[in-house]
Structure 1
Amino acid sequence: MRSTYRSLRLGVVILLGLLGAAVVLESVRLGCWLDSLSAYYWSGARDALVGSLCAVGALLVAYTGTDDVEDALLDVAGLLALVVAFVPTEPRTGCAGPGAPSALAVEHDVRTQVAALVLAGLVAGTARAVVAARSGLPLPSTLVRAAVAVPAVVLAVAFAAAPQVVVARAHDVAAVVLFVAVIGVVVRRAFDARPTSGRWAAAYATVGSAMLLTLSVVVALHALAPAWGHAVLILEAALVAQFAVSWVLQTVELWGTDVVDGTTGPA
C-alpha cells in the first residue's frame, strides 16, 4: 500500500515533466514559443498536453489526502484538471504550425467531452459517497467523498444554461480554481507542519506564497494585458514548477508514513 501511494505521488511529477518536455520539444521544432502553455493545444504537443493533464487529474482524484479537507481539495483540483484538458483556450495567431485541429471541429469535440465528464464526475461522487457511508464513516467524511461531484454539478448547470460560454470560458476559470485548490493544500500543510517542524512549515509557506503571487500575476495579465507575449508562458511554467516543488516536498516529508486508519494514507 505504501508503494502504491508513493507511485501515485511520483507519477504526478513525472507527468508534469512529460508536459514540460513536450512543450520544449515542440517549440524547438516550430522555431518559436507560443504565448501560453494552454496555447500548445493548437500545436503538435496537443496529445501530450491533454494526456498529461488527464492523467494528473485522475491521480489527484485517486490519491487520498491526509485529512478530509485536503482530500476534497485534491478531488476538486483533479476534476478541474480534466476540464482544463478537454476545454481548450481560444486559438491565437502565431507559430502553431501545420496539423493543428480546426476551432470548429474542436468546439464539437468539447461539447461531447464536457457532457461525458459531467456524467463521470456525478457517478464518481455518488459512488464514493455510497462506499464511505457503507464503511461507517461519519457524515462529514461521507460528504467529502462526494466533493468531486460538486464541480461536475456546477459544470452541468452552466453547460445546460450557456454552452457557448462554457466552451469560451471554462478553461480559464477551471485553471484558476484548480491552482487555488492546490494552493489551499500547500497552505494547509504549512499550518499542519508548524507543531512538529518549523522547517517544513516555512518551506510550504514559501512555496504557497510564491504560487499565490504567480497566480495573481497571471490572472492580472490575462485580464489587463491585450498582448501577453511570452510573459504568461513563463509565469504559467513557473506556476506548474512550483506545484511540482510543493508535491515533491510533501512526498519527501511523508515518504515513510503508514496508513493510520481507513481515511488516511501514506504519501
Structure 2
Amino acid sequence: MVRAVDGVGLDIENGELVALIGPNGSGKTTLLKLCAGLLEPLRGQVCLEDQPLKEFDLAERARRIAVVPQSLRALPDISVDEFVLGGRYGHLGFWKQETAHDLEMCRLALEATAVADLGERQLTQLSGGQRQRVLLARALAQEAQLLLVDEPTSSLDPEHQVQVFELLRQLADNGRAVLVVTHDLNLASLFATRLAVMQAGRLVAAGCASKVLTPEVLEPIYGPCLRYGSFEGSAERPFVLPWSAASSKQRGPQESGADKTEL
C-alpha cells in the first residue's frame, strides 16, 4: 500500500497563517483533505479543539471548517450570489431560510474578495481567476474558525495574488486559524506566520520563513534550482528565485544557487 501522507503531526493555532509548501505529489492536498474531514486517516486522528473531527456532524463541520478547493469539478448552473450563500448552510435554521445576517455575511465576503460586482453572473461565465476568488468568498461567508485553502492564487494575476494573501493574513490576525497550500514560496515568506514543508508524504521541516527558506532545507527537496536572498536586507524576510546553470553562464560565473541577493 502506498501512503500519500504518513506520520505527519501538525498543529495550527488560532491567529496563525500556516503555509504548506512542497513539490507536486508531496501530499499537501491530501493532508488538507484530511484536516477537512474529506478523507479518513487509516491511523491516527485529526482533532479540532482537542476533539476528534469524526465526532462532528456535517452541519457542525460546516460551521467550524471552511474549505477552498483549487477548482470545482463541475460548475453548478447558479449565480455567484447563490453560490456564496450556499456557504451559510451550516448556520441556517430548520427551515433553511436565510436571514438578514446571512445575506450581510455574503455581501461582506463578496466585497472582501473583490467580486461583489459579479453577484448576478453565472459561475459558468467566470474566468478561472474570478472563480478562485468566488470560492474564497463562499468560504469566508461560512464564518468558520478554521480556513483550509488549496492553491488560491494559481490562476490570479500578481495584484490579486497579493490581495488574497493579505486577506488570509488579516483573517489570521483577527483570530482565525488558516492553512494554505501554495507553490509560491515568496508569498508564503511575506505573509505566513509559519511554513511547513512536505516531501514524499512526510512533514520534513516547519518554522518561520528564515528557518525554512534556506539551501539546507530546500535543496534536498527541489535540487539546486533556486537562488536565495532577502527583501530589503532583512533575514526575517527571505525570498527564493528559480535559477539554472545555463542562465547563470550567460550572466557570469559569480552567481550560484546559494548566493544571496537583496531586493
Structure of larger gyration radius: 2
TM over 0.5: no
Of Structure 1 and Structure 2, which has the larger fraction of its residues in strand? Answer: 2
Of Structure 1 and Structure 2, which has the larger fraction of its residues in helix? Answer: 1
TM-score (ref. length: structure 1):
0.28
